[in-house]
Amino acid sequence: MTTTKGPTTGTTGAPEPSERADVAGGAGGGESTSTPRLTLAQILEILAGGRLPLRFTAYDGSSAGPPDAALGIELKTPRGTTYLATGRGDLGLARAYIAGDLDVHGVHPGDPYDLLKALADDLVFKLPPPKVMAQVVRSIGVEHLRPIAPPPQEVPPRWRRVAEGLRHSKSRDAEAIHHHYDVSNTFYEWVLGRSMTYTCACYPDADASLDQAQENKYRLVFEKLRLKPGDRLLDVGCGWGGMVRYAARRGVRAVGVTLSEQQTAWAKHAIHEEGLGELAEVRYGDYRDIRETGFDAVSSIGLLEHIGVKNYASYFRFLQSRLRPGGLLLNHCITRPDNTSQPSARGFIDRYVFPDGELTGSGRIIREAQDVGLEVLHEENLRRHYALTLRDWCANLVAHWDEAVAEVGLPTAKVWGLYMAGSRLAFEVGGIQLHQVLAVRPDERGSDGDLPLRPWWTP
């Protein structure tokens, strides 16, 4: 039901489909010059086919949807209308929300999962007939159809990022990593918890805590790589050094590399505090600058998403060149559920979260690894585990919301809540997945170094 306050239109209630045609074109089918403008609530109901799973209110006094709905959206300003009208896909909604022109009700901004799920399950936008659409456009007003500057948290579109270098050049990759990972170590501590691990955990059971699940993930990677005291591990895209420190505690000499200066500083301090300096090292730099070879194992946990699909061959070739014959490589990354979709991220994710991020299917990843001469031994999908990980990260953000807002500002904190809750939903429904791929570098005779006949790790 749509309602209005004040003299905006002189009507109460959303017009039924037959009435909408009259609103747009007049009773006789011709255009009426006296047709009143539609309210914002009426426009939304028209575009949603009258099916609103939540309450909508707008600054023009109109409202729609169930009055007693537990969830709601409030459009607060005309600028918000401009963002919604000019942003393609989810970008307009994100802009209005992050800028404070749109509020959500019934959920915490650190975890708007329930609202996003309701929208994804029940809200389907459809274009109305041309005459009705023309009336919608007239009612919105041409002044709201001209793009305006986005919130300052948004990075430029891909075609304007050339000043930072060609896509996936070292300089542009460094800028993309800086945008996402150099937010604030303190902020990440609140969101990620004690493990300080920003990759998918592996839950040993449904009741496991986030910290237990992250420790179990490192255990799984360590066992898959058959690491033992005295071995050498290279961890590319090492984050805050979680895998490096896990391996060093077990007698492995581990080198990590990251393009984030803040991650490097945090990891070096943690290594010092744990007394792991003789075995663990984290370097600031590009993984392609690693000169040492002959590693017994290479782990790549959450890096491939930033590499670019066209660079997969050189990426796997480089990692293979760092391994000794018989050495093992584990690649852990987010994937698409197919191998044919456009790899580049679009909309909100590309402009606010992972600039230049690209995803493809596990089949494409396996093919690229095989084509450089690596032998793929095993792969598995941890999709459901990532949904649980994101659930727990959102819970951490909610618990530390006031501190997070004070540290990074309300708009950035809202970006994180929106991104993590939306990603959780995507992992739950299979829109994105998380695959671990284990491979070996065969020696010159094609031998895998006498690996066991069956998987040697505990799932």
Kindly report, as residue ranges, where domains of CATH 3.40.50.150 are found in the chain: 170-440
In CATH, the architecture of 170-440 is: 3-Layer(aba) Sandwich (3.40)
Question: For residues 153 and 352, is the Cβ–Cβ distance under 8 A?
Answer: yes
DSSP alpha helix (H) spans, 331-430? 347-348, 362-371, 383-399, 401-408, 410-429
69 vs 23, which has greater pLDDT?
69
pLDDT(199) > 80? yes
pLDDT(29) > 60? no
pLDDT tens-digit readout, 278-326: 999 999 999 999 999 999 999 999 999 999 999 999 999 999 999 999 9
pLDDT at residue 16, as a whole number = 38
Question: For residues 267 and 241, is the Cβ–Cβ distance under 8 A?
Answer: yes
Q: Which two tokens stand for residue 202?
A: 């592996």
pLDDT band at 229 (very low <50, low <70, confident <90, very high): very high
Q: What is the mean pLDDT of residues 10-28?
A: 36
CA 80 to CA 69: how far, in whole Å?
22
368 vs 14, which has greater pLDDT?
368
Kindly report, as residue ranges, where domains of CATH 3.30.1050 are found in the chain: 17-144
pLDDT tens-digit readout, 399-449: 999 999 999 999 999 999 999 999 999 999 999 999 999 999 999 999 998
Lowest mean pLDDT among 27-31, 61-65, 401-405: 27-31
Residues 6+ apart with CB under 8 A from 16: none
CA 41 to CA 3: how far, in whole Å?
8
pLDDT band at 2 (very low <50, low <70, confident <90, very high): low
Residues 6+ apart with CB under 8 A from 29: none
The CATH code of domain 17-144 reads 3.30.1050
CA 69 to CA 61: how far, in whole Å?
18
Percent above pLDDT 90 for the chain: 79
pLDDT tens-digit readout, 133-183: 999 999 999 999 999 999 999 988 876 655 555 555 555 555 555 545 557
Q: What is the mean pLDDT of residues 267-286?
A: 98
CA 137 to CA 72: how far, in whole Å?
24
Sheet (strand 375-381) strand order:
280-284, 253-258, 232-236, 295-301, 323-335, 433-440, 375-381
Q: Nearest 5 degrees, angle CA 192-CA 352-CA 127?
A: 125
Q: Mean pLDDT score of the chain, rounded to an integer?
A: 89
Q: Which two tokens stand for residue 244?
A: 């490096």
SS3 226: coil
Cα separations (Å) of 196 from 66, 200, 268, 389, 397?
42, 12, 13, 13, 14
pLDDT at residue 7, as a whole number = 36
Q: Does the reported pTM lie above 0.85?
A: yes
pLDDT at residue 344, as a whole number = 81
Cα separations (Å) of 380 from 203, 225, 331, 440?
14, 15, 11, 16
Residue 352 is classified by DSSP as I
pLDDT at residue 49, as a whole number = 86
Q: Which two tokens stand for residue 192?
A: 């990620």
Length of the chain: 459
432 vs 450, which has greater pLDDT?
432
Q: How far apart are the first and last CA of the chain?
A: 52
CA 1 to CA 78: how far, in whole Å?
22
Q: What is the mean pLDDT of residues 370-390?
A: 98
Residues 6+ apart with CB under 8 A from 191: 393, 396, 397, 400, 404, 416
Residue 372 is classified by DSSP as T
Amino acid at 258: T
| Nearest residue to 432 (alpha-carbon basis) of 352, 374, 357 | 357
Q: Which two tokens stand for residue 257?
A: 């590399």
pLDDT at residue 356, as a whole number = 84
CA 458 to CA 108: how far, in whole Å?
38
pLDDT at residue 163, as a whole number = 58
pLDDT at residue 125, as a whole number = 80
26 vs 421, which has greater pLDDT?
421
Residues 6+ apart with CB under 8 A from 63: 2, 3, 4, 41, 55, 56, 57
Cα separations (Å) of 86 from 92, 143, 225?
6, 11, 49
pLDDT(216) > 90? yes
